[in-house]
Structure 1
Amino acid sequence: MPHMSSPTPSASSGLTPRAALMLVLPPLLWAGNAVVGRAVTDLIPPVTFNLVRWALAALILLPMAWQTLRPSSPLWTHWKRYSILGLLGIGCYNMFQYMALKTSTPVNVTLVASSMPLWMMLIGRLFYDAPITRYKLGGAVLSLAGVLFVLSRGTWNNLLQLQLVIGDLYMVAATIAWSLYSWMLLHTREPATVRARWQAFVLAQVVFGLAWSGVFTGVEWALQPHLHIDWSPKLLGALAYVAIGPAVLAYAFWSRGVQMVGPTVAGFFVNLTPLFAAILSALFLGDMPAWYHAVAFTLIVAGILVSSRQR
């Protein structure tokens, strides 16, 4: 899933081929994140994987936005806010996603994450008094139907017997955390010196996110002392990918694409992630998508299209 940039972008042009390329690349990279996370589940514990990933991303961002960490930076004045953002967007979301991939597939994980409109609507209504229109309600019902279809594996008996894979539930928790994170970004102004550049904005969150991830990693190793890390070329390549691609490049492409076409049009490109995940899983993991994945993906996309309509 993408981080949300604080500045409100304005669309300056239509959906040109260049803009479309900018917006197609992030979902491809995010889908790759799910596939890679699944591929290294036996090489590194999931919570530890999240910590190492963001530590590497911080090293990449530091030369571009080191001023954010100066003692005089407004980041420290707003440390409580960035601490919560780091907890939800970096600590909890990514941790739960990698935990989900231990028992669930990349296709399931990305499809469950596509239920975001439902959680956005519920959290907005409960905590921010956001109105619920009939289009939003109808879209939420369709999205929920798609998620239930994935969780049931297309079998009604599975749903009745609540035969859920624990990874699917972890991904629901991740999606709720991301929804809270997104609403916080939407309703709080950033210091101008931090929001001026996306590198500074991400680094401000990563600093606190690493602290939370370090605590979670300590708990992981304390509860499971038999854990180990296999520092193989496969793991090193995976870490390089998730740090450079989904954590840095995807954000850069996404920010530029949103500036070119606006957030409304750009938002629909996120729904390419499950499709890319299905293709990449078939190519690299042998996890061929089932018929219920296609039905669920159709329902979720239909829900997002309906919920985006205005009166």
Structure 2
Amino acid sequence: MAYLLLALTTLFWATNFVLGRAISPDIPPITLAFIRWSVALAILLPFVIPTVWKKRVLIRENWLSLSLLGTLSVATFNTLAYIGLQSTTALNGTLMQSTMPIMILLLSAVFLRETATKKQWLGVIVSLAGVLLLMSKGSFELFLDLRFNTGDLWIISAMLIWGIYSICLRWKPTDLTQFAFLQLTLVVGVFVLMPLAVWEQQDAIEIEWSRDLYFLFAYLAVFPSILAYLFWNYGVEKIGAQKAGLFIHLVPLWGMILSVSFLGEQVQAFHLGGMALIFAGIYLAVIADRTKTTTNKESGG
């Protein structure tokens, strides 16, 4: 079940990037994130109030870790991604999202002191080469001038934040169910985003509300928000952050199909080259190394 839910999570995330790119000219990024999560919180509000009251002692004892996790996941990750989608394509965004397993590996090695092999570090280098190929659009002159798309840099920053969030999930209070945890992180995220959205709206154009826009926010609130976070947290809890991170490589595949079908974006050679390098790096850093470890254990090595 965990594997199926993680696969669905990647589909929901891909649609989030495509819709975020499609709506970027009409709604500024922080406001988009705030409305999305506010709608999600409103849907869950009948459950939030009893949970907060019932778990008030646990919340008070773990307020720092809950605040950190809510700020990283709800308030920061998608907001940075939406900022990036203002100036890069949904296809680039979903391709960048496939770097999550590498981010988790790097952060685990640096902060959790989990030993990384030479093959894993080689995988990191190969994946980063793929990211640079995407950011430079396959242009050597652009790479030398370091004139990368700022949107791509924002997307990479979002991936880094999600990697931090994934390894910090080990500090989630064990007495909280996944549903209660989501409720509490939503509360934190909305409160963090609220003043930022008010500030952003001071210079933003007025939002033109329509039936399609209402449906869009309803979708964003339910599928990439509530369901995706419940599914991801469940998957990480059941099979671990590194294994769950492998499912991220489905995001660019969904993203490529959706971006071409609905946004008319073109797949170019540097997209395929960047994807190939990122996937090769993931194979070296995570899949091949884990396979070797499993084989050694089975043979008594």
Q: TM-score range by the shorter chain?
A: 0.7 to 0.9
Partner amino acid, structure 1, of 2:253: L
- 2:61 is paired with a residue whose SS is coil
Distance 2:9 2:85 in 1: 20
Correspondence for 1:201 among 171, 175, 181: 181
Contact preservation (8 Å) 1:43, 1:231: no
Name the CA distance, whole Å, in 1 between partners of 2:61 and 2:237. 28
Aligned to 2:103: 119
Tell me the equivalent position of 1:10.
Answer: none
- TM-score, normalised on structure 1? 0.84
Question: Which one-letter code corresponds to 2:113 in the other structure?
Answer: D
TM superposition shift of 1:254: 4.5
Contact 1:40-1:238 at 8 Å conserved across structures: no
Does 1:102 pair with 2:86?
Answer: yes
Residue equivalent to 2:23 = 40
Q: 1:71-90 to 2 correspondence within 5 Å? A: 72-73=55-56, 74-90=58-74
Deviation at 1:248, TM superposition (A): 1.7
Q: Residues 125 and 262 from structure 1, CA distance in 2 versus in 1: closer, same or farther, beyond 3 angstroms?
A: closer
What is the distance in 2 between the residues matched to 1:147 and 1:282?
Answer: 20
The residue that corresponds to 1:4 in the other structure is none
| Number of residue pairs aligned between Structure 1 and Structure 2 | 288
Q: Could you tell me which residue of structure 1 aligns to residue 52 of structure 2?
A: 69
For 1:82 and 1:63, the matched residues in 2 are separated by 20
Residue 189 (structure 1) shift: 4.8
Change in CA separation of 1:260 and 1:184 when aligned onto 2, cut-off 3 Å: closer
TM-superposed CA distance for 1:23, in Å, is 3.6
Q: Specify the code of the residue in structure 2 equivalent to 1:236.
A: Y
2:42 aligned with 1:25: no
Cα separation, partners in 2 of 1:253 and 1:93, compared to 1, 3 Å = closer
Post-superposition offset of 1:21: 4.3
User: Once the 2 structures are TM-superposed, how far is the Cα of residue 241 of structure 1 from its aligned partner?
Assistant: 1.1
Residue aligning to 1:237: 215
Question: Would the aligned equivalents of 1:117 and 1:139 in 2 still touch at CA under 8 Å?
Answer: no
Give the secondary structure class of the aligned counterpart of 1:300: helix
2:75 is matched with: 91
Given that residues 96 and 155 in structure 2 are in contact (C-alpha distance below 8 angstroms), is that contact kept between their aligned partners in structure 1? yes
Offset of residue 65 of structure 1: 4.8
Question: Structure 1, residues 7-49: CA drift from partner, whole Å, max 9, x if none?
Answer: xxxxxxxxxxx76643432211110000000111122111001
Question: Structure 2 residue aligned with 1:131, among 115, 128, 151?
Answer: 115
Which residue in the other structure is 1:7 paired with? none
Q: What is the distance in 1 between the residues matched to 2:4 and 2:140?
A: 39
**Residue number in structure 1 paired with 2:264:** 286
Matched AA of 1:78? N
Deviations 1:33-92 (A, max 9, x none): 000001111221110010011111112233345432117521232112211112211111
Measured on the aligned residues, the alpha-carbon RMSD in Å equals 2.3
The aligned residue for residue 198 of structure 2 is: 218
Q: Counting helix residues as a fraction of each chain, which structure ranks higher?
A: 2
Aligned-residue sequence identity (percent) comes to 35
Q: What amino acid maps onto 2:7 in structure 1?
A: V
Structure 1 residues 22 and 88, CA, compared in 2 at 3 Å: closer, same or farther?
closer
Alignment map for 1:144-293 (pairs within 5 Å): 144-186=128-170, 188-192=171-175, 194=176, 197-222=177-202, 225-254=203-232, 266-293=244-271
Q: TM-score, normalised by structure 2?
A: 0.87
In structure 1, stretches of 5+ residues that fail to align are: 1-17
Secondary structure at 1:76 match in 2: helix
The one-letter amino acid paired with 2:74 is: I
Q: 1:120 and 1:263, CA in 2 relative to 1: closer, same or farther beyond 3 A? A: closer
**Matched residues in 1 for 2:163 and 2:204: separation?**
34
TM-aligned CA deviation for residue 180 of structure 1:
1.8
Instruction: For 1:164 and 1:120, locate their aligned partners in 2 and report how far apart those are by CA, in whole Å.
Output: 24
Helix, strand or coil for the counterpart of 1:75? helix
Of residues 256-265 and 103-112 in structure 1, the stretch that sits farther from structure 2 once superposed is 256-265
| DSSP 3-state at the match of 2:27 | coil
Q: Does the C-alpha gap of structure 1 residues 152 and 241 become closer, same or farther in structure 2, counting only changes over 3 Å?
A: same
